[in-house]
Amino acid sequence: MSCSVGAFGVPAVDIDASFSDLLNNLCFTASGWAIVGGCSSDFMWDVWRGPGYQFSETFSAGAGYRGTGVDHEYDGFAFDVVQQGPVLGVAFRS
């Protein structure tokens, strides 16, 4: 787990963990993030969490759930949105 201050002074928290089954040469991972801040909005947040699997040195896949929200008002314009849903992904490394 690491904590830092990102762009524009927005605090960020990054949580990553992985473990492997050495008997069967399997590699499962679990990772995620949580970000809370303001920047040019009144308030914003972003959270993601999910497991993954490393099939080989060059191929992995993962799934998770992500939610993000922003509350922004400027010159009579209001933007107050929350989006959330499942995430699927694959990665190829050379």
- Are 51 and 36 within 8 A, CB to CB? no
**Per the structure, how many domains does the chain have?**
1
The count of other CB atoms within 10 Å of the CB of residue 62 is 18
Stated pTM of the model: 0.62
- Count of alpha carbons within 13 angstroms of residue 50, beta-carbon side: 17
Q: How far apart, in whole angstroms, are the C-alpha atoms of residue 87 and residue 94?
A: 23
Per-residue pLDDT of the chain (94 residues; tens, 9 = 90+): 444 444 445 555 545 445 555 445 668 888 888 888 766 667 788 888 898 888 888 898 999 999 999 888 888 888 888 999 999 999 998 8
Which structural domain range is residue 39 located in? 2-92
DSSP string for residues in 23-34: TTTEEEEEEEEE
